[in-house]
Structure 1
Amino acid sequence: MRLLFIMLRKELKGYFFNLFGWVVFAFVTAMQGAALSTAMKGFRDAPSQDSLVYSVFNTTLFWFWFLFIFPLITMRLFAEEERSGTLEGLLTAPVRTWQVVLSKYGAAMTFYTLLWIPGYLQFRMYEWVTDIPPAYAPGAMLGAYSIILLMGAAFTAVGCLASALTSSQIIAGLLTIGMLVIQFFLGYVTNIWGEDFRAAGLFHYISSQEHLHYFTRGLLDTRPVVFYLSSAVFVLFITYQVIDYRRWRR
C-alpha cells in the first residue's frame, strides 16, 4: 500500500505542478459559475418551481462542458507515458500492474473531485452574500454532488481505458468523448422510440440524464450507485488487462 500511495502522490503532482491542470481547474470553475449565474438570471426573469440546484445541473450547457472534463483529465495518463517511452520503464519496475492502474485512476478521480469544490462554494456564497435562505433543499445538494461523483467514477474509468489503448493523447481524448457521447445519447432512446419495446427499462437504467434529474431533486436511488460503481470496476478491469498484456508482451 505504501508503494501505491507513493505512485498516487506522483500522479497528483502531474496535475498540480503542470499548467494544463490549472487551466482545466480554471475552465471548470468558470463554467460552474456561468451555469449558476444563468440559473439565477432565469429565476430573476420568471418564477420557477424548480430548485436552484436542479436548474444549474439540468441544462444542455451543463452536459456540453461536463462530458469534456474527462478526456482533459485522463488523456495523458497512459498515452503520454507510452509516447515518451516512460511506460516501458514503469512496467519493468518492481510494481504490480494493478498498482499502476489504480494510482493513475485514483489521481484522476481525486483531481476530478477537487474540481467541484469551487462550485459548492459558489452555491454557499448565495447564502453568505444575499443573507436569505438558499433556493434549494439540502437533499437536492447532496443528491447532485453524489450523482456527479458516481458518474465521475465511471466516466473517469472510461478515460483511463481510452488512454491505455493508444499512445496519442488526441486519439485517447477522442475515444473518451466518443464513448461518453454514445452513452449520453443512449439515454434518449426511449424518447425517440417510445416505451413499447422490451429493452426500454434498460435504457432508463443507464440514462445519465434521468439519474441527474432525480438526484438533483433529492430523490436518491441505489440503482445508479450499483450501475456506476460496477461500470467503473468493470472498465478498470479491462484497463488492467490491457496494461498487463503490454507488460508481458515486453
Structure 2
Amino acid sequence: MEEGGGGGGASGPAAGPGPAMAAAGGGPLGCLHVLWQRDEPAGKIPARRLRRAARLHRRLGPTGKESHALKRLREAANGNDLDTVQQLLEDGADPCAADDKGRTALHFASCNGNDHIVQLLLDHGADPNQRDGLGNTPLHLAACTNHVPVITTLLRGGARVDALDRAGRTPLHLAKSKLNILQEGLSHSLEAVRLEVKQIIQMLREYLDRLGRHEQKEQLDDLCSKLQMTSTKEQVDEVTDLLASFTSLSLQMQKMEKR
C-alpha cells in the first residue's frame, strides 16, 4: 500500500487487492462497523473535540511544511513506524488529513493490522468513520484482511458496524464473501483454512457482541468449539458450511430489521 501511489491496499476492495490487503484467494472484499462509546480517562481531551478542531484547521489549508508532515504521518503509519507516528502527532499533525485518494493514516494502519498505531491515531482524534475516495472506512480495510485486534480497537473507538461501502456491503457480506473464497479454493492447507475460519468467527463475534445479539454469539461459540475439534479438511469444510448458513441467516435478519 503506497502513499500517493497508483496501487495500494487502502484503495479498498473495489479497487483490487494491494500487497498489504490481499485477502484469501485474492478476491476483492470490504466492509464492517458499530457505534460504541467508551469511557474517556479523566483529564484527557475527547477525541471528538480533537476532530472538530482539526476540521476547522483543515478548512484553512495546510502550509507546505504541514503538508510534508502529513505525508510523513501517512507514510509512517503505512510503514508501521510507531515512534515517528507518535512524534508527528505530538507535534500537531492532523490524523484526519487524507491523500489525493482520500486515505488517512488510520486507513493505512488499519489495512496493515497495526493496532498500536490505530489506537494512537484514535487517541489523537482520528475519525474511525472517515471514508476514502472509494467509500471505504478504516474498518472496511481491517475487516478485509481479518485483522481482529484492529477491528476490536476500531469498534471500541466508535467505528460504525452498519457502515456500507459503495457496493452496499456490510461486515456480514464480507464474511460471506470470504467463506465463498475459502470453499472454492483448493490450494489452501488444512491449517490455513482452519485459521481463516477461526478469524471470521472472531470477527463476527465482535460484530454480534456490539449489536447485543447474544443468542447468535453463542451459536458462533459452538461453531468455534467444533472447529477446534476438526482434524481433516472435510471436517473443516463442514464447519465452513455451517458458518456460511449462519451468515446467510444473519443477512436475512438484518434486511428484515431495516424494513
TM-score by length of 1: 0.33
Q: Which has the higher contact order (CA 8 A, sep 6+)?
A: 1
Which structure shows the higher helix fraction? Answer: 1
- CA radius of gyration, larger in: 1
